[in-house]
Structure 1
């Protein structure tokens, strides 16, 4: 396996380092610190947890900036556990296995995005750990400026907002949000300053809740579960047709726009179908409107039972319905509609003890570059429906003036910037073997320092980017690189995750203040990181 290969590399690197040091009259404390700093992150990442733990313990005894001289007997005694351990691991290491294909978990992410805006790094870390452990995607901001940027860019479902911030306060964020459309976003104040005046002001400015610090883990998860369930119920009531309990015209319009955006971004195919019940006026005239309502409900229930999970079925008005079929050619859409039509022919309705049947006609069209507008597509589907009606009803007709379209995948570039070659190569090779769904094309780039990254032609307008950026590098550290990125690119284009192995929270705070979307503490588990990246891709680039 790859992990064993990297373990062998680190054994070799350590032995070479010790040999080089042994040939020198002395080394500096600073050199020992740098060696242990890199070892802490690298060893933990590739499964050598005891090496990482030893390195971490030793780091606390050293000064990162000291030039004190250590002779060979001193540094060998100080590092004796590592020297002894490396020989043990070499002796007991398993033989290398053949390469295996790595793949991300094949599951659907359906959690909403949560934003935490707070200047307390310990509290942020707590919130992030608890929420991510329960499957939520968490983005964090350290100050007001970055918090507002992320709200506008990413439109989170819940915003947890502290009152006290380094460059302002939570109330000013609430004041700003009162002037913009929030798309049913829940803004919740979490503050240790739990006075009556703050409660009143928070609610007056539009906060939906006020939670005092500290907050218990179980209460936090229960709160998030409750609010997201309420949000779903609220959205349901706004977008559901009361009679048939299928989506209404308002929801159709929003989903239509979404599918068009997807098509513009990567040419993802989709089809549109208009369905109209045949001779429905005759049903109302013969059996009455109450029976007509039952027919509408029965037809809707049948479609909901037979359609696929991803298909969007809406009542357009009266006895007319529209179905949007994502990632579906018109031929596949036709097969599905025909299956539903044939089932409808066999469905019995009853009025005053008399059984009767109702059929429907359908017009279909597939998205193409020449007709990429809801009104135009519905007009052409309606033309096909008219043809179905004129041809005798109870049939499906495809609007056949469709241009050939070439499907184009979304290009996502994962950039690894780290001066530690073992970590950089391991992470890069992992993602080179990463398997995502057919709509994405993954490309991996790696750089040993920030200057080489910034001086390269790394950015292309039609791609999306995930940057894994080490915080501690020679010549230009990660924070300076991050600042350069954020001068030109938003989180909608470039997501930055800072990698940090430094002691103290000030480095994490600095990263968040300057626009990092996430931070990853070394040593990290590469599988956890890949899951987190998958989550970010689905939430921000879909």
Structure 2
């Protein structure tokens, strides 16, 4: 029917255009046939428009039919008869207002059809909002409760229901809900009993609440809003209104979540949400004991991806890995981007041993194919991961640190692997210590200022590192090509070959060591220098004169020294 209405509007517009042409006929063009064409057109409109629901157009067309009725039975008059011209002009004058009304009604109907199309789009969006959204309907009226469950389920929601406060509390402990509807007047406890329960639980406090009440008392409404209700609907109500309000709340909540709690690049949750949710998860399992594990993930050799292909490719790789992880996790698992190329996964109800198996399966998926493609080029990665199971009394900071330590141990023992904190990590470290003696990290100080080099060595010599000095970029370049260097403290301006020139040469030769960190020192603070340094692989930038305390902090941070 809707498609038929659209087609009819197109034809109707053509017919009205023709009517306006006929109404505008000049004296020399006015004939009996012209009047008869108008009559037939408006007669057609009178009969066809109501069939497609355009009742107002049919009513107006009927008035025009009556005005042009005189054209019937006048076949004997000649086209030049003055009575035809006079009658035509008189009827056109009287009918002009109705013709204008027809045009206006057509515009209104066209707009209504456009609005219907937009409404259909919103319904489709509503289906997307409904898909996967879980609702809890709490009402002691069995008939209404059953009706709401059926209607909401038909819209695509997952719907649970409870007839009293105690039943609702059991469901709220067991499942995660996106929205709750609460009836105020229930027995033996009223809906007010749930407000405190919901709003004081960190896992529930952000869930939208819609109050359904048979009381329209303003005091009840005000009290509910102060207690944390997001909407208040008085019974009896139209279901369509309730449905639209639920849709609006869920859409707004999801949009807010997207902006406040999601990493804009990968779509994974951000650190802010992780910090909030991890506390909520721990509070939950302290009430209802069950295992929970944390996995800390770091992409292997990610710096070389950025340095070789550019940061935009690095971003695509991050998006690809996040997509891969999310596609193979349960709905109850939480994936968050922790920073840079690091991700964390919270696995409720999973022991450390089983969490390690889950992550090893994830790692196998990275082996199976590229995580990203760009302009025909495929990008393959692996990652190192550390897993730690939470134990009673462990703080969140300690839990994260242990998972991070296990991940670092996985890196040190060859990358592309998953280690479980404690047994696996200890074994790996023991194996490493039984082999080649751990190499001290090397710091190369490349600066033509001999005094500054001496000061740096003196101030940093208490760190567990060894120092090499270079007087210019040429010497620094030779050293980096000849032996492992973990950190290069590099002056931007030097004779023979400056810091930028040295980095550019390494990059052009694709000889930049993967693990090399660059801390550039410069007496200039130009933005273009900093931008150029970042493009060439500089990890940190300090302006002369600088604080030795700050420099030591950066060195320890870049070398991951505790």
TM-score under structure 1 normalisation? 0.41
If asked which structure has higher relative contact order (CA below 8 Å, sep 6+), I would say 1
Query: Larger helix proportion, structure 1 or 2?
Result: 2
Return the TM-score normalized by structure 2.
Answer: 0.40
Query: Which protein has the larger Cα radius of gyration, Structure 1 or Structure 2?
Result: 2
